[in-house]
Every structure is written in structure tokens, then in C-alpha cells.
Structure 1
Amino acid sequence: MATSAAARAERERQILGHARAAPMAPRWIFTLQGWNAYVHEVIERPEIADSAPLGTPVTSDDPRLRYHGHLLLVPNPPFDAALLKTHRLLLVNRNRREGLVDRVIDGPPGTGKTFLLRAIGREFQTTIEEMHDDRIPVVHILAPRDADSLVNWVWAIAEFLGLAPAPLTEDEVRQPRRTPDLSQSVWHVLERRWTQLLLVDGMQRVHPDQLVPVLHFFDDLREELGITTVFCGTGAREIVRAARVKADGLSEAYQGLSLRAPVIAGEDGRQHKVLPQADPSRLPVAWLDPIPLYDGDQETWPSVLRGFEEALCLHRLSPHALVGEAKYLHRRTGGYLKLLSQLICQAAITAIEEGIEDITLELLKGIDIGG
């Protein structure tokens, strides 16, 4: 048992390590080449000893400036838990032919949902590539603007795979885009290249009524090709759920179930219908919320700040520079990782450019991050 627990802990460390080594600002990630570059790129902390000496003016391409521009993900319990749960869901899905389950990532804007989505894909592809180097295990798309047309969803996948014809001349660029139906080509590539995971970001842009006509396409991917879809966006859970109710006529189905339900006598002597307590149409959800700081939890927020401190690369960084300002930083950012990352990264870059090489309260107060 001890050996098994140790092996499991080591595997979990590897999974989380893949996520934390990921670049936060990948380029052209909605293409196969860009996605693969993101998966394989590892951002390493520059060595202070190899950096420009203290007091030396830095240029815009200084390694430390670039590094702090996309600071690495730091340990975050909700993020880590969501990543591990999705990892296990994918392990179950890839080893069965029926009963596969899709997943949703939901929560307020600025809580790290997109980064979690991509970390899931990165970790999954890394695992597959350890055994197979000729597959396209992951496809990553953004929900299309005209989301009520299946052709546009297929086109987004085709663009990722490099199947969508790009305009070749200036005249073609100026012409209205004619979107051909590439369903057969896309299906062929997904099947032949063993795609197993589809990441869909931007679900907050999709109305449930727009998703109704295309939801069964995702069902076909799952049931015929074994592809798990992860839907990501603020409100994604209810968007997908509402679309499912309409697409599958679940209201009518539940009414019929209610009529057929057996009746038993309860402890109160009254007759009660025995109805299911679970709802299989509701997908499992990874919730990401702002990180709290209150009397009942005084550890999570400081642990995140310590992670940022350890990742910083400054000549004169004071001990506990961020943890010592935990209450101020939470008041400024509300616990939103997007705002916190912007604040710390901009402060680090300012400290390097101005030669301060430390993050102080005065410096933090001068950084504008909105919010």
C-alpha cells in the first residue's frame, strides 16, 4: 500500500508539473503547429548569475523581462484538484467504448479557466506522446461567432487541423468568406489520427439555443470516435445543460419518467413516487473561483503568493515581499488570478526596468490593473 501511495503521489506531481511548466502566452494556439509548440515549450526561470549585472540597463528582449511577461502557474489547490480529476476522467474515457462523459470548466472571469483547459490538454498530449508520436491527441478551438451553424464549428476544427483553405491572393482576402462543409475531411483526420480530446473555449459567447443544433455533433464525436469534449467558459455549465434539455427533449422524457415511477409508502404514511436523485445530463464541472482570504482560510492565499515569490527573478527581492502584503494584494485583486498575475508581473518588469530589483508596496500601488 505504501508503495502504491508513493507511486500515485509521484504521478500526481508529474501531472501538476506539466501544467506549471506551461507558457501562459502561447502564440497561434488554435492551430496544430501552435498548439504543439505550446505543449512542448518549457519556460525556465533565468539564473540571476547569468543575467545582466545589477545596475546594467536592460533591453526589451532581456530574458528576465520575457520570463516575467508570462510568469509560470503557481500551486493553487482548486486548480490542482480540477486538473487531477479531469486526468482521471480521461483515463476512464480512453479505455471504454460506451458511457463516456464530457466535462465543463466554469467560474467567474479571470479565475484561470482557460489556462486550466490548456493545461489539461497539455498534460494529456504529453502522456499520449510518451507512447505514440504519430497522433493528434488534442484539438483546441474557440467557439465560433456564428455558433448556431454546424458548418462553423466544423470549420474551427478544420482550421486547427490545417484543412481550411486560406486565401491565396489579396482579392480572395477581400471577398466574403464562403465556408464549405468540411465535415467528412475533419472526421477522416480525427479518426485516422486518433484524436481523443477536444478543448472548446469561449462558451460564454454561445447562447443555449445556438448550441442546440450542434450538440449532437459532439455526441457523435464522443460515441463514434471516443473523443471527450471539455467545454470552458463563464456560465458554460448552464449553457450546455439548457441546450441538452432542448436538443434531447429531456423535459418530456422526465415527465414520462414521473408517470412511470413506482409509488411507495413513506415513513409519514403518505404515498411517494420513487424518482432518480441524480441527473446524468448534467456534466461534471470543474469550478474555479477567486481565491479566498478570510478567518476560516488563512493559508491558501499566502501559499499562492509564496509560489509567485519563488518564481520571481529579481536581484534584491526582499524576504516575504508578497506574503507580507497578503491583505493588500487580496484587496487589490479580489483573489482573481488574472489580476494578481498582471499585478505581480507588471511590478516585476517595472522593478527590472527601473533598477529597483524588488517589489514594494509603493511599487504595487503604482501598477494599474483595472478591477
Structure 2
Amino acid sequence: MTTWQGWQHFATTPPPAPPQPGQAPRSREERLAYHSAFVTVRTPAIDALARHVRTLMILGRHQTTTARPSLIVTGPAAAGKTTALLHVGRTCHLAHTHRNPAPPGRRQAQVPVAYVLVPPGATAKTLTTEFARYLGIPVTTRMTQAQITDAVCHTYNTAGVQLVLIDEIHRLNPRTTTGAEAADLLKDLTERIYATFVYAGIDVTTTPLFSGVRGAQLAGRATLITCSPLPARHGQTHPFTDVITDLENALDLQHHRPGTLPRHHAYLHQRTAGRIGSLTRLIRQAAITAITDGTERITKTALDAVQLDHLAEQQTRPTRRR
């Protein structure tokens, strides 16, 4: 998805759909593929991000003298940051293309969304090159940093990019010379590209990205959206159980009993520490196992047999000290 062609394919391909009443049963292979991809359930973080993106895109639409307000999605690993980023990006892409259909003879009128990954050990030049690669802007070894930046800004504005999504922002370290140059580049791009910038990274506020003068500038322009682990209870609501229910309703298993997973909400919360990424992986793996072994249902025993990601396993099954 870090090229326009890849992003367009992602954004325009219908997401996996749960089984519908009256629909013909899907084959075993179709159901395995479905649970492998699975649905994206709405979470408080996705709702908050979508609301803020809409507002800031309107706010910055006619702002040309300074950098537009931006957003930072932060939180621990496996908390759903990238999922939220991609979901909002796809929604923006589809809304724009619906309002602005391509003229006759052209596949696409504009490029509304860009998605860029910060490369490991990013320098200003490697980061700019990632921006260029997304739109297929030719970059040669003889080009200077300024020339690449000029080409990127001109092409992005000409293409009509309105939303720039930058993932893995925690890889930037402004305390190093190269990291500081890369951070300065991002500030330059936000002032020259007429788009709303949304960043995502692991626990960004605890990284050097928010330290020093550069960090103060970023903090002064960016709204923070936190993707925290879902609490078992929040006031009178039960966010974690609500997500479990949504995931269970999306299952395509022949013999699964509705209500089984919500009944095990306490176990599932302990097992995943409330992380949406770990939870969806656990349920997807259990569903795939249920199809392959023929049981076609998810039980607590089946859930307990799933080997989860190391982060979740360390949380729930700590090694005993001798």
C-alpha cells in the first residue's frame, strides 16, 4: 500500500463481509480466506480518529500561510493504530472518489490519500524518496535533497492529495543529526503540501519525537489520539465485551453457539490485555482451527490452545523466577 496503485487496490477492494441471512453457504476455502482477512470492527479509537480527521480537513482546507493542524495516533503495540489509520484512509478515499468521479477516458481524477512508511534509520533523503515512490516520481542518485522535495511537493499538490498518512513515526529520532533532518523535512512538507497529515507510531509521547524545540513544534500543531487497550469496563459500558460480540457476530462457523465468546470476556481480557490486535488474532486463529479440524465452533479450550503473539503470552503467562 506504499504505492498509489497498491493503495488504490486496497481502498477500492470491498472489505471481507460476514455471512448474510439467506446467503448460500460459503465453501471451506472461502471461509478460511474470510477468517484470515476478517472484518474490521469499529472501536472508540477509530471513531475518534474519523471525527478528528473530518474536522481538521475542513479546518485546513483554505489554510495556506502555515502548516495545517495534524493528528498523531499513538499507543502500545497491537492496539489497533495502523488498522485505525487504514480504515480512515479508505473511508476518505471512497468519499472523495464518490464526490469527484473520474472524467471519461481517465481511471482516476485525483489522488486523495497518500500512505507512507517511515523507513528504519530514516534520513531526510530516504524519507523524501518514500514520498516520491508512492506516486512514482522519478528519483536519481544525482538529485539533491532540495530537488526531490520540490518534485514531491509539486506532484502531491498537482495530484490533489488531501490526506497524508505516515506510519511508524516512532522510527524518527530527532536527537541524531539524520533524525533531526528528517523531522525538519516533515515540518517542511506539512507547510508546502496542501493536505492534512496524520502520523501513527508506538508510544510516541515517550520517544524523542516530542523532546526539544522540534518536539515542542510538533506537539503544538498535532492532536493526540490514543489507541489504548480496551478496558473491561468504562462507566456503565463494556467496550471490550462489545468488541467481542461484534467479532463473534462476524464469524462464519457452522456449529458455533452465539454468546460463547462474550461469556468468556474476563478470560479474553486477561489473555490479550485488552489489545484489539491480539484479540482479533486469537479469534481468527481459533476460527481457522475450528474449520480445519471440523469442530466448527470456538470454545474456551480451543482459545486456550492458541499460541498468541509473544507480547500477549508474556503478559498472561509470565515466567516464574527460580
Structure 2-normalised TM-score?
0.83
1:263 match: none
The offset of 1:185, in angstroms, is 2.8
1:322 pairs with 2:261: yes
Q: Decide whether aligned partners of structure 1 residues 351 and 191 sit closer, same or farther in structure 2, where only a CA change above 3 A counts.
A: same
Indicate whether 1:358 and 2:297 are aligned. Answer: yes
- Contact 2:46–2:88 (Cα < 8 Å) also in 1: no
What is the deviation of 1:246? 4.1
**Paired residue type of 1:367:** V
Question: Structure 1 unaligned runs (5+)?
Answer: 1-28, 53-57, 166-176, 251-278
Decide whether the 8 Å contact of 1:114 with 1:201 is kept in 2: yes
Percent of pairs identical after alignment?
A: 27
Q: Secondary structure at the match of 1:50?
A: coil
**1:297 Cα deviation (Å)?**
5.7
From the superposition, tell whether residues 286 and 179 of structure 1 become closer, same or farther in structure 2 (CA, over 3 Å).
farther
2:5 is aligned, of 22, 33, 36, to 33
Which of 110, 117, 127 does residue 135 from structure 1 map onto?
A: 110
Total equivalences in the alignment:
293
- Seen in structure 2, the aligned counterparts of structure 1 residues 358 and 242 have a Cα distance that, compared at 3 Å, is same
Q: d(CA) in 2 for partners of 1:193 and 1:348?
A: 42
Out of 44, 64, 68, the position equivalent to 1:77 is 44
Q: Which residue identity lines up with residue 242 of structure 1 in the other structure?
A: S
Q: Which residue of 2 aligns with 1:257?
A: none
Deviation at 1:72, TM superposition (A): 1.0
Q: 1:315 to 1:140 in 2, by over 3 A?
A: same
**Which one of the candidate residues 40, 46, 57 is aligned to 1:90?**
57
Indicate how the Cα distance of structure 1 residues 246 and 306 shifts in structure 2: closer, same or farther if over 3 A, else same. Answer: closer
Equivalence for 2:319? none
CA displacement, residues 98-141 of structure 1 (integer Å, 9 cap, x when unaligned): 45201111011110001111122112222221233311121111
Which letter maps to 2:231?
P
Letter in 1 for 2:18: R
Matched, 1:241 2:210: yes
Aligned-residue CA RMSD (Å): 2.5
**TM-score of the superposition, structure 1-length normalised?**
0.72
Runs of 4+ displaced beyond 6 Å: none
The C-alpha deviation readout for 1:197-255, integer Å capped at 9, x for no partner, is 21111122221224422334333333333222211101324544326x1488x7xxxxx
- 1:44 and 2:11 correspond: no
Determine the structure 2 residue equivalent to 1:119.
Answer: 87
Q: Does 1:204 align with 2:201?
A: no
Cα 1:288–1:247 change in 2 (3 A) is closer
> Secondary structure at 1:233's aligned position in 2?
strand
Matched, 1:157 2:110: no
Q: Give the 3 Å change call, closer, same or farther, for CA 179–30 of structure 1 in structure 2.
A: farther
Candidates 86, 106, 121, aligned match of 1:146: 121
Distance 1:189 1:295 in 2: 46
1:186 aligns with 2:186: no
How far residue 162 of structure 1 moved from its aligned partner, in angstroms, is: 1.7
Mark the structure with the bigger radius of gyration. 1
Structure-1 separation of matches of 2:215 and 2:170: 19
2:259 aligned partner, one-letter code: H
1:220 equivalent in structure 2: 188
Structure 2: 5+ residue stretches without partners = 103-108, 313-322
Instruction: Give, in whole Å, the separation in 1 of the partners of 2:258 and 2:219.
Output: 50
